[in-house]
Structure 1
Amino acid sequence: MQSVLRRVLVGHHQRLPCTWALQAYSNASAAATKSNNASTVAKGVRLMDVHEQSLVDDIFSHALKKQTGVSLKYMLDFGANPIERQLILSAQFLHKELPVRLAHRVAELENLPYGLSAKSSILKVRDWYVDSFKELRQFPPITNAQDEANFTMLLRSIYRRHANVVPVMAKGVSELRMELIKQQSAERVLSEMPEVHQFLDGFYLSRIGIRILIGQHIALHEPPKDDHIGLICTACSPVQVAQDAINDARSICLREYGSSPEVMVYGAPEFVFPYVPSHLHHMVFELVKNSLRAVQDKYEDALQDSPPIRVVVAEGMEDVTIKVSDEGGGIPRSGMPNIWTYLYSTANHPVQLAEQDIQPTIEDSPVVLAGYGYGLPISRLYARYFGGDLQIISMEGYGTDAYLHLNRLGNSQEPLP
């Protein structure tokens, strides 16, 4: 017998709001009824081809539910004294919330344009999300400390499973991009894929949220660290984090080029505010990495020394702003829209060069100086996740200024896609 949900979706979907979930489910149902000759969907690609009907119904049922956002301040207040009762409440929230967020992403992955949903890399990511959804839904209600401990073990497994989502997704999108480039110019491909870029923005923003929620819960079980509540440092020094990111970026520049421009940091090291240091490190690392490459390329064969890159940390009432300035020649005005486009890069593309499964993650192990094309757009998502932003202003022929704005108040809700 078909579920009530399926009868509603298939029989009366024209009366309901048009959502990713409804569209994906409708398309999947229609594809399942077509003959092999008439269908445009490859056999074995759709969820309905490889998973039992009850699971598919459950996924799309959750994809219709509203996601619940949290704020940095809420996570600070909630995790300040992680007693047993609070950990149980946190686990109960994640037990209910994570399947909803995962289902939203599965519904999107099921219905991507340009045949992207059928790419092997995208299917691999989708199946990771389906597996995690299934495990969470099969986990019994959490009522005591032992349940919470077992649930935390499950969260650790899910966290590890999704570690390589970004590069695997990048591989799938890169394959699509190369196929389209064979048919038309690269510029047209970049400008004619707004649906893909909009999806990736929402997908990666959601991934940041899922990983911060899971990571925060797991971190509350770790031995306490000074000035930390889970992943959040209550006394995060942006100058110190920036200096660490600079050292990492310069180390990679030295490895790639054999030399590295100087980087000057201006700001008060004693100034601190609550933030997630790993997020801040990632963003500053990407900005400094780009500046190092631009300056190094411009002055590699020049007789004079390259000018230093300047990193300025400014403390405001609402925002902490970090400016990264270089004299690396800047970006042409016509090229500015491309810097926020996924897989746009002027460097060699490591995703294209990799034949085997990608092992390091962009998020956790920045192993190359340039080439993924994900650095700026994902850094902007990290900034926006807690209410900040990232802006790039460039002067062609001179250099580029990047302004990283971080919400100091911590009261901004997650911008859920």
Structure 2
Amino acid sequence: MSHQESIDSHISRRAQTAAEESAKNMMWDIMNDTWNPTISPNGYVNVGVAENGLMHDELLKFINTNLELPARFLTYNDGGGGSNRLKIAMSKFLNKHFNPIIPLHQSHLVITNGVSPAIEHVSWVFADPGEGILLGRPYYGTFIPDISQRPGTTVVPVSFGECDPFSLEAVNKYEEALKYFQRSTGNRVKGLMLCHPHNPLGRCYSRPVLIALMRLCQKYQMHLISDEIYALSIWENTVDESPAPVKFESVLSINLDGIIDPQLVHVLWGMSKDFGANGIRLGAIISQANRDLHEALKGVSLYSYTSGIADYLTSLLLEDVDFTEVYVKENQKRLSEAYAFTAEFLKSNGIEYAPGGNAAFFLWVNLGRRYKELRPEISRNDEIGEVVMQRLLEYKVFLASGGLFGSENDGWFRIVFSHPRDYLEEALGRIVSALQN
């Protein structure tokens, strides 16, 4: 679009920018053309979107057996921050699974229609336009628009080079990025966004590293925002690999005394990942000590008002202790099996991946290296990620490319393995064919 066309447009410049970015995103087109061996054999095999289809039958059986909607859930009920019933049910559920030092109370929660609105809310509350929020690379790509597109907050990417992003040494990289941003822009960094367990690396931060990050936030009076949307999607890694996986411990389970002001610590969680239900569209902001946050969000909760049906359904789920216990354990077992199958397949086909995972749905894989190994004529220094992406699309398989995740190295992709075995086998077969042929 030319400058003159931009001026003459009937929409705002920020809307134009959003439209231009949307035009580059082919994900929705691919999701409307998904492979099915009988109905749509020529469709895309989609292992690029973080969805968990391993437990859909069990969840649907529960929903279709138990959902009888009371009339009050067709009204505004208890307001935009979620019903009291839901907040009580979620507090009890998370108290059981997150082991918080201070038990959660319904007053600590703000319910939103998904975790993306929750991320946008905390960005809007904590930072003025132009101020920064730190985000380690590689990162969940949608963090960028969630944090910045409407709030106007600047994402400050943190690069680690050869440093393990889950190590104590990596904390220094966050501080270096903070100092550089503040020195070069004159604006403050107001928060540090953590994805714990991590997307796309599938690893957890150790307690010592979490505490070190808290101390950094206290030093610079930044908010620590821990997105724990994959907290219950943890599983046993049965593959022989190093580094050894680190068990998940919620930020809420750490005693903050002498470490950080509790007003600076916040956790996000939702139903999309741990319950394999992206379509329910329900998330939560958990902030135990920051009343200003809660007061501010009362004024904007209308824009993230979750559906009464989703609110009621989630209450039913979380109140059923027997069902959720069985569900969570079986989900973890199936994720473990799917990871092991995918990791062994990659190894047997000479494809490098980042090891040490024990959480979430994905493997971080170096398809660029394997593509070059199969083609000796290609220079080792040539960037090949975009070429590989086009090859994958030719074979009608969709992965998320490393460029979307701020990858520091070319040629990396994220494979989502939380699919039924036949679907996963089809995807992996197409990936190998795209690389080899």
TM-score (normalizing by structure 1): 0.24
Bigger helix share: 1
TM-score (normalizing by structure 2): 0.23
Determine which structure has more spread, i.e. the larger CA radius of gyration: 1
**Higher RCO (Cα < 8 Å, 6 or more apart):** 2
